[in-house]
A and B are shown apart, each in its own frame.
Chain A
Amino acid sequence: MTWSDELRISNSCVGSRFGSRRGFTLIEVMLAVAIIATAVVALLGLQHQSLLSVIRGQDVTRAALLAQEIMTEAELERFPALGQTRGDFQKMHPGEYPNFRWYRAVEATALFPDVRKVTVRVAFGPRLTKTFDLIEFMHSPIPPEEGQTQ
C-alpha cells in the first residue's frame, strides 16, 4: 500500500463516519447568525426594560411627593371649597416637572356635612397616561350649626 492509498482510505473513513465533508453553506451560516442575533437582541431588550422601569419608579416617587404637596395646599385651606381644580407645578417649581399635572376634586360626603373628601390625582409620564391618587377627608374647623347636627 502506498502512502497516497493510505491517505485515501483514511479520508473515505472519515467521510463515511461524519457524513459528507462539504461543510456549511453560506445560507446555513447566515441563518444561524440571524437566530443568535435575534436571541441577543431579545436579551438586550430586557436590559432596556429594566432601565425603563427604573425611570418609571422614579416618576412614581416624584408623583407621590408632588401629590402630597397639593394635598398640603388643601390642608392649608382648612376646609377647601367644593369643586374641581387643576394645574401644573410651574408656580412652585418654575422650569421643573414639565410632564406632571395635578387634578383636585373636593366632594361632599353623604353622611357628614362638615366632612369633605379631597382627591388629589397627579398625572405623569408620556402623554400623562400614568396617575397617582391620594385621598384625604377634611373636617371643618368651624363647628356645624345647631340645626345641622341631630
Chain B
Amino acid sequence: MTLRKFKYAQRGFTLIELSLAIGLLALVMIMVYQTFAAVAGSKVHGENRLTADQEGRAIMWQLSKEIRGIVQTPLIPSKTLLIGQANKMGGTALDSITFSTLDVNHRRSLNGIGTEELVAYSAQNNPDHRGWFVLMRSQESALLTQTKMGLPPMAMADNVLGLHIRYFDGQRWQESWDSRSMPPGQTLPMAISLDLSLMAPGGRPVNFSTSVAIPMAFVLR
C-alpha cells in the first residue's frame, strides 16, 4: 500500500539526468581515449626514431670502417680504385661510391693477410615510398674481377633521404673523385666526409655527419 513509506523512493532517473550522465561519461571517455592515443603515438614515434638512429649508426660505422681500409699500393696487381659520383635527385645529394678495401675480409684475422674487396654503395628509388631511396651495398673480390663471385647486392636502408659524400684532396673538399685519372701515389683523397639523412617513418629526418681520414693516402704522399 505504500511505496511512500520507504526511505528511498524508487522513482528512477529522468531522461534529462540520464542523458546528462551519459554525456559526461562520454566526455571523460573521450579525454581518456585521447590521452591513450597520444601515449601510443609517442611510443611509435620514439620507436621509429630509435630504428632510424640504429640504421644510421650501422651505416656510418660500416662505411667509415671500410673507408679507413681503402687500399693504395704502387704495385701493379693491386686494385687501387676509388670512384665517387655526385648525383642529385630532387635537390638533395644521393651520391654513389665504389672502392677497394682491405677491411671487409674477415679471413685476415686468421692468416694475417686479406685480399682486397671491391665495395660499392649506391642509392635507388624506393618503389613503395615516393621521395625515399634504398641504399644498396654490393661487394666482390678484387682478385676475381672477371667472374662475378660477389654476394648479391644488399639493401642497407630503405628510408634514405640523402647521402652526400665529399673528398678532401689536401686543399679543399671535392664533390666527386676518380682514382683512375689521378697521378700514381695520389690516387686517394686524404679524407672522406659523409652526410647521411634518414627518414624516421612518420617523423622528422635524422641526419648523421662525420668524416674519416684515409691512412693509406698519407703513406705514399
Contacts and interface: CB of A to CB of B under 8 A. Distances in A.
Contact of A55 (B1, B35, B49, B60): B49
A55 B42 CA distance: 12
Interface string A59-87: 00110011011001101101000000000
Interface stretch (A92-100, A108-116, A125-133): A92-100
A58 B53 CA distance: 6
B50 interface: yes
Contacts of A93: 195, 207, 209
B49 to A, nearest CB: 5
A62 B53 CA distance: 9
Q: Is the interface of A mostly helix, strand, loop or mixed?
A: helix
Interface in A1-48: 4, 7, 11, 40, 44, 47-48
Contacts of B45: 51
A48 to B, nearest CB: 8
Contacts of B206: 58
Nearest to A46: B39
Interface residues of A, number: 30
Contact of A92 (B42, B190, B193, B207): B193
B208 A44 contact: no
Contacts of A50: 43, 46
A135 interface: no
Interface in B178-221: 190-191, 193, 195, 206-213, 218
Interface residues of B, number: 32
User: Which of A57, A58, A93 has the most B CB atoms < 10 Å from its CB?
Assistant: A58
Contacts of A96: 207, 209
A66 B213 contact: no
A57 B53 contact: yes
B193 A69 contact: yes
Contacts of A92: 193, 209, 211
B129 interface: no
A4 B2 contact: yes
Contacts of B193: 69, 92
B57 interface: yes
Nearest to A78: B218
B53 A68 contact: no
Contacts of B64: 68
Contacts of A73: 211
17 contacts: A4-B2, A44-B35, A44-B39, A50-B43, A51-B42, A54-B49, A58-B49, A58-B206, A61-B53, A61-B57, A62-B208, A69-B209, A69-B210, A72-B210, A75-B213, A96-B207, A96-B209
Interface of B: 1-2, 5-7, 35, 39, 42-43, 45-46, 49-50, 53, 56-57, 60, 64, 168, 190-191, 193, 195, 206-213, 218
Given A58-B49, A65-B208, A96-B209, 19 more contacts: A44-B35, A51-B42, A51-B45, A54-B50, A57-B53, A58-B206, A61-B56, A61-B57, A62-B207, A62-B209, A68-B212, A69-B193, A69-B210, A72-B211, A72-B213, A76-B168, A78-B218, A93-B209, A97-B209
